[in-house]
Structure 1
Amino acid sequence: MATARPAPSWGLLDSVVRLHKVGERTEPDWAVIECSETRAYVTLYNGHDRPDGTSPFRLSPFDGLELLVRVADDPPYPTALSIRLHGDPDKDVRRGTIGGVLLADGGFVVLSSCLPDTRGSSSYIVFDAANASLAMIRANLSLTFLLSVTYTPLPIRRTDGGGYVLALLASDANRKDVVCLMPSPLPFDQPWQLKTPLFPPEKPTWFNADEEFSSQGRAFWVSLGKGVLFCDHQDLLSSSSDNVRFSYIALPLGCEVAFDPTFRTADSSKYRTMRCVGDSLRFVSIEGYTTVHSRDMVLCMWTLIIPSSSSGDQWRKVGEICVGRLREQEGFKNARLPTHRPPTKPMLSSHEDGVVYFMLSDRHKGEDAAKYIYVFSVNMFTGRFVSSWRLPSSCAPHSDPQFLMGSDILKHIKI
């Protein structure tokens, strides 16, 4: 048995989750993540369609689900996750990609998946590092609910040691907002519980979350073009109230992005990010990303102490550097990074205060894909170039930086 060891404390994570075929040769850099509890399901065929109209399929507990991780010894290599299914009844018809990483933060990994079968069903697979548990949870709320803010459920850890609760923001058939909650552990076919959100009047009517995270006893849903919705964990977890009171924080002045009904404007997640650092929110934006030449873009970072409720404009800019000036720095020049493409995909480091990682591709106009993807970091407090590396072509997912994310979940994983 391999000795348990922690993965790197922070690094890049491939968001594509593939299927590890049983019996397929496992590369030496892949390992099974230790899980003391696994709850998974498959659907079994009971025979032909029945006269009473009931489904010929039945849900059955399944103990053959494994989550694997590839952790390279060299920091430039992205970490990746995969799923393996021992005794899979649909093994002959499953193919390649089985899902994606929706969230990897706060000791949780949430995956989207096409499990438990191949007939259009779907589920969330949640890994809870603190309890070393792996659970499959039904993703389909019901035909009467529509996910209105995000498809990604946010895990909220219970304070009584009883696992976690998944939280989703949705709307019902009458377009009434609801908070959908799924406590763990519950059976796969358990319906989601509902609460009523009390949104502040300043919340925009159109609000889609690009990022979700939990910190300091609060849950956050972030629209990188609008602002931040947040609420207390206590409101989500309380059994004494059916309401959840939310607060709203607008982005720094001048940073709001107008809704584009044609969807031709670059997605905000390509050039912005937000995370919690201690008791503060950090917001990073590549200003001018959609309007100016790359050399005139400005890398900016703001901070805001998390208030107890909605408040006025309290953002404070704590760093900025023009891309053209950055390219003139000796470290950037020595790294021989491409300058014909703009930086993209900012990622706040969780272990280096003020350091933000960006990505660059060497794709030229007219080319379908980049040959290489580069990562470089900048200390936003000082505006100085810190480091860079080139991702190996075999580990650069689909030659698209958008398939990579930064995560500190790796430090929680034992293999």
Structure 2
Amino acid sequence: MVAYPPLSSAAFAGTDRSSPWRWRWLCRSGSCWIDASTRSKREGEESEWEEVECTAWRASGCGDGDGDAAAEALARGLTLLVRLADPPAVSALAIRPADGVFLNAASVDVADGNLVILSAAFYGFPRRYYLIYDVAEASLAITPHLPRFCKPSFTLKPLPVRRRRRPRVGEAVVVDDGDDHRNYVLVLMAINFNKDDIICLWPPDPSWSSSSSLPWQRKETRFPVEMNRPWEQYGFSADSVFTLNGIAYWVDLALGVLYCKTSDLLLSDRDVVVEFSFIDLPPGYRADRNLFRPKMFRTLGCVGGSIKFVSVDGYHKREETYFNTEDEEEEEDGDDCIIEPVAAAERKITMWSLIPGGNLGWKKDAEFSVGDLWMWEEFQSIGLPRQQPINPILDPQEDGMLLLLIGDYYNDENDVLRCRDQHMITVDMKNQSIVCSTLLPCWLHLMVPDLVSSDLPQYLKSLR
């Protein structure tokens, strides 16, 4: 059992308002969270930071001629710096470009095991790039976004998929190869010029011929029939991507989960069509993402070997009929299916688990109201504001543990929603108690910080 830090209202270390972080980790009990910024490390602040080791660089698919050489030189000029802190304080990672190089925009897309994948754009460079930092290899790879004849369809975030090897003697099944840290591919859903749904993979399989200007291998897809109507009318938008037990998942927090076998993605035969299936959200949770920001009130991901879904209900209207057939719509009055926002104290926080097996379904694990949360002894003893919790985040290491943000929100003179103080609390959903609370520094007061789990802070500490 993880030993949580004692209840505290103390601020995180390193709360300087001018802190020019590139990525942030919110560290607690061994789980670390990354959020993205679009600013680079500024001069004159070196004392708090230390360089992250990088000993190898490579570029591929960045154009014919000197394209790869120019991109590799760009990568070599980037310096990663880290400011580490003990949990539950905040660790931060910054980027410092070489002299004369200016960063236009950057974001952390995915953190998966030993990989941290970023998107970055630089002034004077015509294309946007993926930067792949491999912690185990201390290497930085750079490759451009998809070629111009196709565009990402669901998300710009690539999904890292580990290649699988043949079983060793005595092994009954094929397992992931943990010996070769470079044994992975990045997977992106895309649409080509003909508006066909395709899958793009980098780097391509060695058996697949590719020029340096076309580094992405392409495969055809086949989606389930039930996806046709919402796909065309409402659009599938992946809020998160992950793999679990040989299955790749793309999660739309308003519609459901699209998934396929990772083995199908990695087959070298380019003529193989990748078959997808669909998992609906729990009953009543299909929603119009135009009416609310899904990541502000929902999350779905893996905890250990299971898949969990959490929703903070009552902030928005829900529509129950998105996937209904025409016959079902004639029998059901759509207006009766719209649920109006409810009173603040009556809003529910609910956790579900996906039931494995042939007939996938959902089982409710826990539920409590916001009013119940306000009445908990820990909530009152800490002196938390009686505000609404937002931005639920699953702890990938501890089943039943949920992170929530609670802040003192207000509208400024331009009617923009702001936050004076914001607390991050860890809730034990099963025992309905608060096990950890921290006042976030002012530079973390974003309404919906995009946090992902990473092992990088612990790994860097181990190298000290």
- Quick check: 1:64 aligned with 2:69? no
Distance in 1 (alpha carbons) for counterparts of 2:212 and 2:50: 27
Corresponding residue of 2:377: 330
Deviation digits for residues 168-204 of structure 1 (CA, Å, limit 9, x no counterpart):
0011122110001111799974431100112121224
Distance in 1 (alpha carbons) for counterparts of 2:183 and 2:249: 19
Cα drift, residue 103 of structure 1: 1.6
Deviation digits for residues 13-59 of structure 1 (CA, Å, limit 9, x no counterpart):
331153235xx334344222233422259x9xxxxxxxxxx999995
- Quick check: 1:302 aligned with 2:352? yes
1:211 to 226, 240, 250: 240
Is the 8 Å Cα contact of residues 298 and 322 (structure 1) preserved in structure 2? yes
Listed as ranges, the gaps of 5+ residues in structure 2 are: 1-26, 166-179, 317-340
Corresponding residue of 1:373: 422
What secondary structure sits across from 1:110 in the alignment? strand
Give the letter aligned to residue 409 of structure 2.
Answer: R
Question: How many residue pairs align between the two structures?
Answer: 379
TM-score (ref. length: structure 2): 0.74
Corresponding residue of 1:38: 57
Distance in 2 (alpha carbons) for counterparts of 1:357 and 1:266: 20
Corresponding residue of 2:132: 126
Give the letter aligned to residue 308 of structure 2.
Answer: R
Compare the two structures and name the one with the higher strand fraction.
1
Distance in 2 (alpha carbons) for counterparts of 1:69 and 1:80: 6
Q: More deviation in 24-33 or 250-259?
A: 24-33
Give the letter aligned to residue 134 of structure 2.
Answer: D
Is the 8 Å Cα contact of residues 54 and 138 (structure 2) preserved in structure 1? yes
Distance in 1 (alpha carbons) for counterparts of 2:422 and 2:213: 42
What secondary structure sits across from 1:285 in the alignment? strand
2:121 to 114, 119, 138: 114
Corresponding residue of 2:437: 388
Is the 8 Å Cα contact of residues 107 and 412 (structure 1) preserved in structure 2? no
Give the letter aligned to residue 203 of structure 2.
Answer: P
Assess, with a 3 A threshold, how the Cα gap between structure 1 residues 56 and 350 changes in structure 2: closer, same or farther: closer
Deviation digits for residues 78-113 of structure 1 (CA, Å, limit 9, x no counterpart):
x33222234x5x33xx26x64111222333211110
Listed as ranges, the gaps of 5+ residues in structure 1 are: 1-6, 44-53
Distance in 1 (alpha carbons) for counterparts of 2:40 and 2:399: 36
Is the 8 Å Cα contact of residues 270 and 402 (structure 1) preserved in structure 2? yes
- Quick check: 1:75 aligned with 2:88? yes
Assess, with a 3 A threshold, how the Cα gap between structure 1 residues 338 and 105 changes in structure 2: closer, same or farther: farther
What secondary structure sits across from 1:364 in the alignment? strand
What secondary structure sits across from 2:419 in the alignment? coil
- Quick check: 1:11 aligned with 2:41? no
Is the 8 Å Cα contact of residues 38 and 65 (structure 1) preserved in structure 2? no
Equivalent pairs: percent with the same residue? 34
Q: More deviation in 314-323 or 57-66?
A: 57-66
Distance in 1 (alpha carbons) for counterparts of 2:162 and 2:457: 18
Cα drift, residue 346 of structure 1: 0.6
Assess, with a 3 A threshold, how the Cα gap between structure 1 residues 244 and 66 changes in structure 2: closer, same or farther: farther
- Quick check: 1:183 aligned with 2:188? no
Give the letter aligned to residue 266 of structure 2.
Answer: L
1:194 to 207, 218, 231: 218
Distance in 1 (alpha carbons) for counterparts of 2:193 and 2:261: 27
Assess, with a 3 A threshold, how the Cα gap between structure 1 residues 82 and 40 changes in structure 2: closer, same or farther: farther
2:159 to 154, 157, 163: 154
Distance in 2 (alpha carbons) for counterparts of 1:388 and 1:382: 16
2:190 to 167, 170, 186: 170
Distance in 2 (alpha carbons) for counterparts of 1:251 and 1:153: 23
Corresponding residue of 1:280: 306
What secondary structure sits across from 1:68 in the alignment? strand
Distance in 2 (alpha carbons) for counterparts of 1:32 and 1:187: 35
Give the letter aligned to residue 95 of structure 2.
Answer: I
Distance in 1 (alpha carbons) for counterparts of 2:348 and 2:106: 35
Distance in 1 (alpha carbons) for counterparts of 2:160 and 2:284: 32
Is the 8 Å Cα contact of residues 168 and 181 (structure 1) preserved in structure 2? yes
Corresponding residue of 1:358: 404
Distance in 2 (alpha carbons) for counterparts of 1:335 and 1:187: 60
Is the 8 Å Cα contact of residues 286 and 300 (structure 1) preserved in structure 2? yes
Distance in 1 (alpha carbons) for counterparts of 2:426 and 2:404: 6
Cα drift, residue 370 of structure 1: 1.5
1:85 to 97, 111, 115: 97
What secondary structure sits across from 2:381 in the alignment? helix
